[in-house]
A and B are shown apart, each in its own frame.
Chain A
Amino acid sequence: MRKKQWLYYLPYILWIILFVLAPVALIVYQSFFDINGQATLANYATYFQSGTYLKMTLNSLWYAFLITLITLLFSYPTAYWLHQTKHKQLWLLLIILPTWINLLLKAYAFIGIFSQDGAINHFLGWFGIGPQQILFTNFSFLVVATYIEIPFMILPIFNSLEELNPSLVNASRDLGASNWQTFTKVILPLTMAGVKAGIQAIFIPSLSLFMLTRLIGGNRVITLGTAIEEHFLTTMNWGMGSTIGVVLIVAMGLIMLMTGEQKAKKKVTNK
């Protein structure tokens, strides 16, 4: 029986080794070689001494933060409303639907909407305030990034709202809490897990967004993803590209630690 159980784990273990552990190990390994194949720590020195990379890192963090914040502001009320409505499954489907379409196609659709001759500028034209430059601005970049990421924030929050026991909410009201108090003291703390899952699902990919930065941002927004792409495809300096990759992986670990903290604590107290 035991033996058989071990067999069930095999595909999972193989998957993790081949597609998670091995690539990460390779990236770390590559990051210690310079462009001529010599083992060195110079890549890290370059990274931490160059104003360009540090500025780019700050830039990436700042935009990832903004994207996460905006999606959160939109997602929580949406998920809450979704949780209350009648035809949940239908609304949910409508939110998931856009994620089935390729990212590139969605980006091109936005180019059409935002361009000088696009729908929005036509609309603004009616009021005599168009055409405005919308493409290649930070605004358009944030709008498109938010649009693309939003389902990944709504879903975990929605799930945690669904899991919330309604009798807790009723009890809070019975005991005289106002709506606002019920929300801040009961609902929000109990759905925090969903919020954190959403933050993880958005913040980390946003750090390395690169295609949107060019298509929608016109390279006005430069993130670490841009630099990695360039190092692997143009410069062929895989070492430097990997170094930036390692930095991203470390950042990812930090975010996971920060957002996963409470769960760990809870486990300890449960024991």
Chain B
Amino acid sequence: MNKLGRITLVILVVCAALFGGTVELQKSQGYTQANTLTLYNWGDYIDPALVKKFERQTGYHVSIETFDSNEAMYTKIKQGGTAYDLAVPSEYMIEKMRKANLLKPIDHHRLTGYQNIGTNFLNQPFDPGNRYSLPYFWGTLGIIYNDQLVKKPVTHWADLWSPDYRGQLMVVDSARDMMAVGLISNGRSVNSTNPVVLKAAKDKLDQMAPNVKAIVADEIKMYMVQNEASVAVTWSGEAAEMLANNPHLHYVIPAEGSNLWFDNLVIPKTAKHEKAAYAFLNFMLTPKNAAQNAAYIGYSTPNIPAKSLLPKSTRTNPGYYPSQKVLNRLQVYSDLSPTTVGLYNDLFLEFKMQH
């Protein structure tokens, strides 16, 4: 055998050995096809200690795979070949998946603790009667500001247009959310489909351009904590994490209203281990577990008894648990037609080019 052949052989043998090693390793940890629950979740969106607890209590093993956008998750489940037993889409995506026949109905008789979920979070238009989904976390879109860098508290969307904040504002790189800011400022619904209304919202956003320092994603957390910008548009849960790291930050839900969003647990059509999935749903419905998860993640829990287990400072913070009056002004996204989604994104792209 020549040298090239020998090298090739060595590489192949090493590959085979590594592959065999991982299989053995998983087996020795007790991972087998039969008792593994596959959870398809957002990155860092469950307390790892809870997963351990669930494994100890039920004997199932949990394998977690992560996604970073609803659309990526949708594509992956739709293309098939996956065996996710549970997934955590947001509200408009649940509507879309439901329409595309990608979800299994949830049998409420097999749930214990369903009554723990607050009525505010049930029976939403995206899933009437919660036939397909169980609320996992909820939150809002709002404004976070640094009290050392601004003169007076920011309380309204209109403040974002104030010349005081020239070049100081950071906004999220998300077409739907930023268009919502424009729409709400114009007094419109966040689910508007009329091109004229949408164009007006984009024109409104364009006027904000001189204030915008950057359009970024997860990095907002890091930048706000490091005092890189004074004001940012972000989601409540992200804000919770920033507040924990910088005491000068404050999160507000503007009084004019904002977006209320949900991340719900669903069982995809491709699920293989329904029994394990129900065990997990029931485990997460237990107030103590839901409270532990909420304390870890920082988003708001829809589980009412769980909320009362949280520290008072969290429970009474209007940024995370707003009053009924504020809740009534919040709007939930609904699934829009592909053409409208395209329009939202094209307009947002134009806004990005502007700034």
**A133 to B212 Cα, complex, angstroms:** 13
What are the 9 closest A-B residue pairs judged by CB atoms, nearest first?
Answer: A218-B214, A219-B215, A136-B214, A235-B345, A35-B338, A235-B342, A116-B228, A52-B350, A219-B352
For B215, list chain A residues within 8 Å (CB).
Answer: 214, 218-219
**A4 to B173 Cα, complex, angstroms:** 55
B49 on the A face (CB < 8 A):
no
For A220, list chain B residues within 8 Å (CB).
Answer: 214, 355
In the complex, besides A117-B227, A214-B217, A234-B71, 6 extra interface pairs with C-beta distance below 8 angstroms are A36-B338, A115-B226, A116-B228, A135-B228, A218-B213, A219-B214
A250 on the B face (CB < 8 A):
no
Q: Is the CB of A236 within 8 A of B349?
A: no
**A135 to B170 Cα, complex, angstroms:** 12
Q: Is the CB of A236 within 8 A of B227?
A: no
Q: If A117-B226, A218-B214 touch, does A233 touch B353 (CB 8 Å cutoff)?
A: no
B339 on the A face (CB < 8 A):
yes
**A55 to B350 Cα, complex, angstroms:** 10
Task: Say which residue of A52, A226, A233 sits within 8 Å of B71 (CB atoms).
Answer: A233
Which B residues, 309 to 350, have Cβ-Cβ distances below 8 Å to chain A?
Answer: 338-339, 341-342, 345-346, 349-350
**A35 to B222 Cα, complex, angstroms:** 36
Q: Mark A128-165, 1 if CB is under 8 A from B, else 0.
A: 00000101100000000000000000000000000000
Q: If A233-B72, A234-B175, A236-B341 touch, does A133 touch B167 (CB 8 Å cutoff)?
A: yes
Q: Is the CB of B345 within 8 A of A230?
A: yes
For A237, list chain B residues within 8 Å (CB).
Answer: 338, 342, 345
Total interface residues on A, using CB and 8 Å?
A: 29
**A236 to B337 Cα, complex, angstroms:** 11
Q: Tell me which of A136, A226, A231 has the highest count of chain B C-beta atoms within 10 A of its own C-beta.
A: A136
23 A-B Cβ contacts within 8 A? A35-B342, A36-B338, A36-B339, A52-B349, A111-B219, A115-B228, A116-B226, A117-B226, A133-B167, A214-B217, A218-B213, A218-B215, A219-B214, A220-B355, A222-B353, A227-B349, A231-B345, A233-B69, A233-B71, A234-B71, A234-B341, A236-B75, A240-B342
B17 on the A face (CB < 8 A):
no
**A183 to B342 Cα, complex, angstroms:** 54
- Report A's interface with B, CB cutoff 8 A: 35-36, 52, 55-56, 59, 111, 115-117, 133, 135-136, 214-215, 218-220, 222, 226-227, 230-231, 233-237, 240
Q: Is the CB of B342 within 8 A of A218?
A: no
- Report B's interface with A, CB cutoff 8 A: 69, 71-72, 75, 167, 170, 173, 175, 213-217, 219, 222-223, 226-228, 338-339, 341-342, 345-346, 349-350, 352-353, 355
Q: What's the minimum C-beta distance from B143 to chain A, rounded to whole angstroms?
A: 18
Q: Is the CB of B216 within 8 A of A214?
A: yes
Interface of B is mostly: helix
Q: What's the minimum C-beta distance from B331 to chain A, rounded to whole angstroms?
A: 20
For A236, list chain B residues within 8 Å (CB).
Answer: 71, 75, 338, 341
For B226, list chain A residues within 8 Å (CB).
Answer: 115-117
For A219, list chain B residues within 8 Å (CB).
Answer: 173, 214-216, 352, 355
Q: Which residue of B lies closest to A237 (CB)?
A: B342
For B175, list chain A residues within 8 Å (CB).
Answer: 230, 234
Q: What's the minimum C-beta distance from A126 to chain B, rounded to whole angstroms?
A: 20
For A234, list chain B residues within 8 Å (CB).
Answer: 69, 71, 175, 341, 345
For B167, list chain A residues within 8 Å (CB).
Answer: 133
Q: Is the CB of B228 within 8 A of A226?
A: no
Q: If A136-B214, A219-B214 touch, does A116 touch B227 (CB 8 Å cutoff)?
A: yes
Q: Which residue of B lies closest to A235 (CB)?
A: B345
Q: What's the minimum C-beta distance from B150 to chain A, rounded to whole angstroms?
A: 15
Q: Is the CB of A214 within 8 A of B71?
A: no
For A52, list chain B residues within 8 Å (CB).
Answer: 346, 349-350, 353
**A245 to B285 Cα, complex, angstroms:** 46
Q: If A115-B228, A116-B227, A236-B338 touch, does A230 touch B217 (CB 8 Å cutoff)?
A: no
**A36 to B345 Cα, complex, angstroms:** 16
**A112 to B216 Cα, complex, angstroms:** 16
Q: What's the minimum C-beta distance from A80 to chain B, rounded to whole angstroms?
A: 35
Q: Tell me which of B217, B339, B345 has the highest count of chain A C-beta atoms within 10 A of its own C-beta.
A: B345
Q: Tell me which of A59, A235, A236 has the highest count of chain B C-beta atoms within 10 A of its own C-beta.
A: A235
Q: What's the minimum C-beta distance from A130 to chain B, rounded to whole angstroms?
A: 14
